Structure 1
Amino acid sequence: MAVPGTRQPPDLIHLLTQAERLLGRRLAAILNAEGCSLDAWRVITLLADGTGHHMTEVAEHAFLPPGTLTKLMDQLADDGLVYRRVDDIDRRRIRAYLTPRGRGLHRQLSRQVEAGMSRLLTASGEQDLLKDLLTRLVDSLAHPPASRSEPAAERVG
């Protein structure tokens, strides 16, 4: 039990949540100046690789439910930033791509985001270390180790 007046160190979940919210606000301020939302930025950054992505993959990357993604994709298409095509292999699926205008917006915003984010961790290697640690955390949470199915060892008496 904590002694009144003493400060407990924050737990990992609280720190991660706080960092995500503060970083989201900072990123949103950069993006909003150019008329781009954080959700739209997540979509644009995924599509920037030029390979085209299925809507399911885009929804997962942007952390959006399908209905919300559809509305966002419609808006991005209306703004001339993305286009959608039927997949050549599986005609039931749709792939999304950036238009030339979308690629230009991505290049422009990437420079601004990079400049804004580079000021956060200035010591040599801090950003790389943080990315590595967060990647390892996400990977371990996304792919937990298999549960042990072996029977408990018998006691020797």
Structure 2
Amino acid sequence: MPDRDLGTDFLSALFETQRMLRQLADKEARHLGMTRAQWAVLAKVERNEGQKQAELADAMEMAPISLTRLIDKLCDSGLIERRNDDADRRIKRLYLTDAARPLMAKLAVLRADLVQVAFDRMADQDMHRLVDYLETIKSNIRAALAPAAGKTKEQAYG
């Protein structure tokens, strides 16, 4: 067997896993009449109700106009509401509506089902170890993306 390229194998497995997980999430979200993107917005708002729309766009790494369209649709569906900020009326803060709560419970079940599919035939300790490794990888990448404190480009890369 030829030598395997660990870097290629890692990236290929990670990207393919992410793509397939997105496909499965899309499929499951359709059962509730929504998209994976709408599901993601609802989940982020639920975790941090009262956040500004701009903060949500940053957290989701989305263009503000794309997020605005999603939020408009969720508002029209009665799932999210925009409220004025107490200190600055130009700022809109996002909240789930009471009508969204039963849907969020259904989405929690779907999320648990997705996790169950992903972790099928894995021991609990392996699942925890995998998550820990992915968190370490994420932290390493975040550090690589952060600008080097006080260094010029030449100092940081050369």
Distance in 2 between the 1:36 and 1:88 partners?
A: 31
Displacement of 1:84 in angstroms is: 0.6
- For 1:126, the equivalent position in structure 2 comes to 126
- For 1:152, the equivalent position in structure 2 comes to none
Displacement of 1:148 in angstroms is: 8.6
Work out the number of aligned pairs and report it.
146
Displacement of 1:142 in angstroms is: 2.1
Look up the SS of the partner of 1:95 in the other structure: strand
1:112-151 CA-to-partner distances (Å, cap 9, x unmatched) read: 22023213213113333232222222233223374696xx
- For 1:85, the equivalent position in structure 2 comes to 83
Distance in 2 between the 1:78 and 1:148 partners?
A: 47
Unmatched 5+ residue regions in structure 2? 152-158
1:24-74 CA-to-partner distances (Å, cap 9, x unmatched) read: 111111111111211111111111135321112222333321111111100
Look up the SS of the partner of 2:124 in the other structure: coil
Displacement of 1:12 in angstroms is: 2.9
More helix by share: 2
- For 1:8, the equivalent position in structure 2 comes to 4
TM-score, length of structure 1 as denominator length:
0.78
Q: CA RMSD in A?
A: 2.5
Look up the SS of the partner of 1:53 in the other structure: coil
Where in structure 1 do 4 or more consecutive aligned residues deviate above 4 Å?
none
Look up the SS of the partner of 2:95 in the other structure: strand
Give % identity. Answer: 26
- Sort the Cα spacing of 1:36 and 1:62 in 2 relative to 1 into closer, same or farther, 3 A: farther
TM-score, length of structure 2 as denominator length:
0.78
- Sort the Cα spacing of 1:148 and 1:49 in 2 relative to 1 into closer, same or farther, 3 A: closer
Task: Report which stretch shifted further, 63-72 or 136-145.
Answer: 136-145
Displacement of 1:104 in angstroms is: 1.7
- For 1:48, the equivalent position in structure 2 comes to 46
- Sort the Cα spacing of 1:12 and 1:87 in 2 relative to 1 into closer, same or farther, 3 A: farther
For residues 9-88 of structure 1, the aligned pairs below 5 Å read 9=5, 10-49=8-47, 51-88=49-86
- For 1:138, the equivalent position in structure 2 comes to 138
Distance in 1 between the 2:45 and 2:15 partners?
A: 26
Look up the SS of the partner of 1:48 in the other structure: helix
Unmatched 5+ residue regions in structure 1? 150-157
Q: Does the CA-based 8 Å contact 1:43-1:61 persist in structure 2?
A: no
- Sort the Cα spacing of 1:37 and 1:63 in 2 relative to 1 into closer, same or farther, 3 A: farther
